[in-house]
Structure 1
Amino acid sequence: MPDPHHDTAARTAAPAVDGYPARPGVRAGDTLRLHVSTRARRFRVDVYRCGVTLRHMAALEADGSHAPARRHDEDWDWPGHDFPVPADWPSGVYLAILRADADGPPEPAPKSAEAVDARAGRMLFVVTPRVPAARILYKVPIFTYHAYNESGGGCLYRSIHHRATPPPGGTRIVDLRRPGGGIGGPVKGRPDAHDPRTPRQTFAHWDAPFIAWLEANGHTIDYCTDLDLHTTPEILDGYRLLLSAGHDEYWSAPTRRHVTAFRDRGGNIAVFGANTCWWRVTVAEDGTALACTKFPPGAVLGADPDGLRGAPDHWWESEPENSLIGVSYRNGGGHWLGPRTPLGFTVQHAHHPLFAGTGLRDGDLLGAEHALVGYECDGAALRRDARGTAVATGEDGAPVDFTILGVAELPTDPAAGWYHAVREDGGGGVRAATLGLYTRGGTVFTAATVDWPRVLPLDRRVRVVTENVIRTLS
């Protein structure tokens, strides 16, 4: 989501060595091409798999060669080096650390993705399995990473190459073949006041802590990218549960179509995040670039596209995302700058199996002490019944059987720091994060807040709900 009032990107000096993978995903046993630029005579790449800790998997050394940086909407076409991925490597998210000095042994393995995270000299890629080794598939949001990646002077929010007005037709393009995209590369956005250790819109900030928790608690997980889901729908075959966490904002039409088909044939989906499926992106035929048309005709520079009707690639304006995930950012909101007033979910239907073991009762708050609701959150259009229970109306496209298990009404006073997108009713009605689920073929659960992975290590009851969801749906 844009931050129209306060927004800076990390600025870094030219790194001694930098690079990017030719594709963000590779199947175990195939060859991944790594593109690297350096003025050093030799360079080294150390590859780690992310799990409970980081495990050193391999090292690559090669002769260095320099190539210039390019624009954000161009293939940087840096010198390539083939890296055969062993067939026995487990599926996972892999982080590569580049060093301009190839001599000597690898440095001690970092303890976490947070320790590896940097704005240059890093690469991320995902190894998918040759055959499913688990019942759970985790979706890594590469599209969203690159939407916020400012390598080359721009991203899907702004560009130094379009200073006066949005680009013709309101369409911006970002290339996937450039540094950054989850790790490495400057990132658009302000620091997270509730966890300033890593920038938002990075793998280390949202996905890594969730993955570490999953694997620490004995869950066997396979991994893919949203580009894999876009190009290869059969990658979902054999799985019982598709997981998404944190900030999974940008979806292509084929990705959404393939995930919907997975649900329709009985596959379950759990979204431990929010602002999900908010923007539609068009993927280049060769899978190397993304385009998004955010501005209606006549929009001027500085306009917040989420405050405008007629943005062509708002999912909700053509095919509301509620029909898949039950909720939408347009019925929630965002708080981007500074600490926010602690807000949690007021629990209802506490007898539901997903609350088993939490000790929660109707009316109790979940996660308030850790500001669980934010920094962006999603909601379903709702009304209150005679007992005061929040009930989804379905008027926004949400399934009529969407059951709200927790509701957090958002402050509407501008002084509270919350921002809200335009919606069908012109802005009236309740703005609330709504945690819940529905069943249509398979069951779809949404936590309705981006901060769920941040709070997961901090709150026992959040952990219990997460475990209940995964055990039930997988």
Structure 2
Amino acid sequence: MSTINGYCARPSVRAGEVLRLHIATSASRFRVDFYRCGAAPEHAGHAEWPGRAADPGTFDGDWQWPAYEFLVPPDWRSGVYVAVLATEADYRTPSMDSREARILLVVTPAAPSGRKILYKIPTFTYQAYNTAGGGSLYSASRVTMRRPGGGVGGPVKGLPDPYEAASPRQTFAHWDAPFIAWMEANGLESDFCTDLDLHEGRLLYDGYHLLLSTGHDEYWSAEGRRNVTAFRDAGGNIANFGANTCWWRVDVAPRGAGLSCDKFPPGASASTDPDSSYGCPDHWWESEPENTLLGVSYRNGGGHWEGPRAPLGFTVTEGHHWIFSGTGLKTGDVFGREAALVGYECDGATYELDAVGRPRPTGQDGTPENFEILGIAPLPPDWSFPAREPTTSPRAATLGLYTAAGTVFTAATTDWARLLATDPQVACITRNVITRLS
């Protein structure tokens, strides 16, 4: 049986420009079918090429597989596309998720489109968990972006998700695809980009009102964060329907060829857990707390990675707020508990209770003083908790927002997208945030 796999030279391409794919196969000829991911996969085009074989590389060096160039039609809509590789013709619509023979790519607009939402795909995080070539950023300090995998098409580090076993965590299919499908089914149009685009300073000033991400956007470069902060300071809004966001800082190799992350304190042993350690060079919170941009941090939340967890939802603390309009929720109500909305990782702000028992941020962790905690979920002691500065604040997921020049919203849990199709209150809050901020 013939084998085939591949990767992109870079994870995004502008409509109308040349996409460079690198593909190795034992077959004499192969086919690539491109599908745009939305409410349903949409076939966008295909190419056929002669096959060439190549050996696998290692996790830390460019695999340098045979190159093929495809001119992306200028009328392709911005979106997330999956290239499906095949050595035999099969005209059935294939699964968009697989650990081989799939390549994830993002098509950005050829020119400003007039759309107001820019959706960020976290390719740095996908590559951090990609174990193709025998390693990831959990076993080494440097990985290449030029290898199979990274969202789809490669092996992934992590434990199975008991609430959604159809796809591994840290893949496009697990969080981003359901969110994008829900958006398109509900008429919420957006353009798409990768974190590499934002690292390079592209797209943010093309007329967008809202930058949106979801799921698990854990790895950020300093340049990307600086550009997103400038977007907020110029009046741009941000909605983060995820958690563990901006936890690790990465350095990006020229042209996006690779990532490096220095996680361990000087002199640490191989068994050291960097999340529970201090003095980690690339912990964002130890040098420039992510709270100053996002309002929350994983260090005030926590994670529950293996097996089912105690079902947790958010207790509404400000039921009159506009994000709850149309949900039927009032102060003191809980939403999302039955489906374990809070987890598998979540973020929080240090807080204290005011005179009437409402949580208010202390600001000692960098959270803006005007951050409004609109929903809260104290975490049980059997969760895993990262290191943080001394504080009396409990560990809790804190859903909320604040406004500087732009407004920044956080859902504070990775699993938000999982409930969109089944929980009307989660869906209503999502629609309220996106429509208001865009």
Q: 2:19 matched to 1:32?
A: yes
Q: Secondary structure at the match of 2:292?
A: helix
* Contact residue 233 and residue 258 of structure 1 kept, 8 A: no
Query: 1:345 maps to which residue?
Result: 314
* Contact residue 149 and residue 155 of structure 1 kept, 8 A: yes
Q: Which runs of 5+ in 2 are unaligned?
A: none
Q: Secondary structure at the match of 2:374?
A: strand
Counterpart selection for 2:422 from 458, 465, 470: 458
* Contact residue 204 and residue 231 of structure 2 kept, 8 A: no
* Contact residue 237 and residue 408 of structure 2 kept, 8 A: yes
Distance in 2 (CA, whole Å) between partners of 1:358 and 1:410 is 24
Distance in 2 (CA, whole Å) between partners of 1:40 and 1:267 is 49
RMSD, aligned α-carbons: 1.1
Query: 2:341 maps to which residue?
Result: 372
* Contact residue 25 and residue 51 of structure 2 kept, 8 A: yes
Distance in 2 (CA, whole Å) between partners of 1:19 and 1:424 is 43
Query: 2:139 maps to which residue?
Result: 158
* Contact residue 59 and residue 144 of structure 2 kept, 8 A: yes
Q: Report the TM-score, using the length of structure 2 for normalisation.
A: 0.98
Sort the Cα spacing of 1:437 and 1:347 in 2 relative to 1 into closer, same or farther, 3 A: same
Query: 2:435 maps to which residue?
Result: 471
Query: 2:181 maps to which residue?
Result: 212
Distance in 2 (CA, whole Å) between partners of 1:358 and 1:305 is 40
Distance in 2 (CA, whole Å) between partners of 1:269 and 1:210 is 16
Q: Report the TM-score, using the length of structure 1 for normalisation.
A: 0.91
Give the C-alpha shift of residue 458 in structure 1: 1.5
Distance in 1 (CA, whole Å) between partners of 2:340 and 2:67 is 45
Query: 2:56 maps to which residue?
Result: 69
Query: 2:97 maps to which residue?
Result: 117
1:230-249 aligned within 5 A: 230-249=199-218
Query: 1:166 maps to which residue?
Result: none
Distance in 2 (CA, whole Å) between partners of 1:303 and 1:57 is 47
Aligned sequence identity (%):
61
Give the C-alpha shift of residue 60 in structure 1: 1.0
* Contact residue 15 and residue 120 of structure 1 kept, 8 A: no
Distance in 2 (CA, whole Å) between partners of 1:200 and 1:145 is 10
Counterpart selection for 1:96 from 83, 101, 105: 83
Give the C-alpha shift of residue 257 in structure 1: 0.4
Give the C-alpha shift of residue 15 in structure 1: 7.3
* Contact residue 2 and residue 26 of structure 2 kept, 8 A: no
Query: 1:310 maps to which residue?
Result: 279
How big is each residue's C-alpha offset from its partner over 1:176-200, in whole Å with a ceiling of 9 and x where there is no partner? 1000010011000000011111000
Query: 1:59 maps to which residue?
Result: 46
Give the C-alpha shift of residue 303 in structure 1: 1.3
Query: 1:358 maps to which residue?
Result: 327
Distance in 1 (CA, whole Å) between partners of 2:204 and 2:356 is 45
Give the C-alpha shift of residue 235 in structure 1: 3.9
Distance in 2 (CA, whole Å) between partners of 1:236 and 1:305 is 36
Distance in 1 (CA, whole Å) between partners of 2:55 and 2:33 is 23
Distance in 2 (CA, whole Å) between partners of 1:447 and 1:204 is 20
Distance in 2 (CA, whole Å) between partners of 1:250 and 1:450 is 14
Give the C-alpha shift of residue 237 in structure 1: 2.7
Q: 2:406 matched to 1:442?
A: yes
Sort the Cα spacing of 1:15 and 1:411 in 2 relative to 1 into closer, same or farther, 3 A: farther
Q: Secondary structure at the match of 1:306?
A: helix
Q: Which runs of 5+ in 1 are unaligned?
A: 1-13, 160-171
Q: What is the aligned length?
A: 437
Q: Secondary structure at the match of 1:293?
A: coil
